[in-house]
Amino acid sequence: MLKKHGIESIGYWMPADPADQRLHFLLRYPSREAREATWKAFVSDPEWKAAQKASEAAGPIVAKAENPFLVETDYSPKVRTGNVSKGGVWELRTYTSTPERLSHLDARFRDHTIGLFAKYGMGNQGYFHKMADQPEGDRTLLYFLTHKSQEAAKASFTAFGKDPAWKAAREASEKAAGGSLTVPGGVKSVFLVPTDYSPTR
């Protein structure tokens, strides 16, 4: 149905924790204006309305929906589809920067962090900001990593955290910014597994 209306599906994931029932998905549009037009046509489609009605015959299946609009950063690798993780797991990480320090966070990722992630076996799969009109649009960085497993992710981050190059980059970036680049508790992570219908795995 989405494809019928020109909406490109990048990926669909569920949390690795079965107790977490939030579906995460990423769609791509040529522009925000194109999104508004195609989404309006999609939700108005009689075929979609019938499918929605049938799926909710026993009651609503969505308790809450969040819909942030994102743009790729200038240092993001090209977002790919296909068997990207090669049977591994995905990780969605969200950073909330301290006021007016998102540019410093971007510089650290652009110049140091993504290279060090790759050094320790982590796959860089896409880096995004929220659009300017979104809540905390000037303070949010979201990105996807892939790992062989959750255990591999833990080992990779442990090695990454001990790397002298990372320690130097962190110290220099915080000195330039005048303090921490993220708010307390401002780094969130969730491990994800692709659904059986996801174009990206």
Output the pLDDT for position 5: 87
- Tokens linked to 94: 């969200």
Q: In the predicted model, what is the mean pLDDT of residues 25-54?
A: 93
Q: In the predicted model, what is the mean pLDDT of residues 139-154?
A: 98
Q: In the predicted model, what is the mean pLDDT of residues 43-70?
A: 92
Output the pLDDT for position 35: 94
Output the pLDDT for position 122: 98
Q: Is 97 left (phi over 0), alpha (psi -120 to 50) or beta?
A: beta
Residue 9, exposed/middle/buried by CB under 10 A (0-12, 13-18, 19+)? middle
Output the pLDDT for position 22: 95
pLDDT digits (tens, 9 = 90+) for 95-137: 999 999 999 999 999 999 999 999 999 999 999 999 999 999 9
Residues 6+ apart with CB under 8 A from 13: 23, 24, 25, 90, 92, 192, 193, 194, 195, 198
| Residue located via tokens 């194109």 | 34
Output the pLDDT for position 28: 96
Output the pLDDT for position 1: 81
Q: In the predicted model, what is the mean pLDDT of residues 138-158?
A: 98
Output the pLDDT for position 69: 96
Of the CATH numbers 3.40.50.620, 3.30.70.100, 3.40.50.670, 3.40.50.300, which one belongs to the domain with range 70-194? 3.30.70.100
Output the pLDDT for position 130: 97
| Residue located via tokens 């669909």 | 12
Domain boundaries, the chain: 3-55, 70-194
Mean pLDDT of the chain: 96
162 pLDDT above the threshold of 90: yes
Q: In the predicted model, what is the mean pLDDT of residues 28-36?
A: 94
Percent of the chain whose predicted confidence (pLDDT) is above 90: 94
